[in-house]
Amino acid sequence: MVDVGAKDVTERTATAEAVISMLPDTLRLILDGGHKKGDVFAVARIAGIQAAKKCSDLIPLCHPLMLSSVKVELEGIEADSSVRITATCKLAGQTGVEMEALTAASVAALTIYDMCKAVDRGMVISHVRLLEKAGGKSGHYKRSD
């Protein structure tokens, strides 16, 4: 692992997203709360939060962090039959939280796939990307597209 001991403790945040596309009937099943496995968004939200907290166990050389906040939001978009997942992680520390946010969004999307694969095996996870990060020596980054 990179030695971050000499770095200043600063407030750091990162927001990432993932999109999972599916059949319109699958999205409707999720949004109507009719899935036999339960509330898909609630389970995916908890999975994303847990994933952010376990990021250093999943990604080699990733620092274990004391996150002060993890927020996972899910939005069903009927126009293109998808779910947009946004994950934001925060802490006061010596290294960034981009990987935690990306992991949270990814695992939330994977959880939706897992819960819904019996009704729609053709789902596609895409647009896993960092949207914004702030804090630390490299400063502020915001995706422009």
pLDDT along the chain (145 residues), means of 10: 82 97 96 87 98 96 94 98 98 92 98 96 98 92 94
**Residue 63 φ/ψ, nearest 5 degrees:** -70, 140
Catalytic residue among 3, 114, 120, 145: 114
pLDDT computed for residue 35 by the predictor: 80
Tokens representing residue 15 in the block: 């927001």
pTM of the model: 0.94
Which candidate, 41, 43, 68, places its Cα nearest to that of 53? 68
Q: Is the dihedral of CA 138, 89, 78, 129 positive or negative?
A: positive
57 is catalytic: no
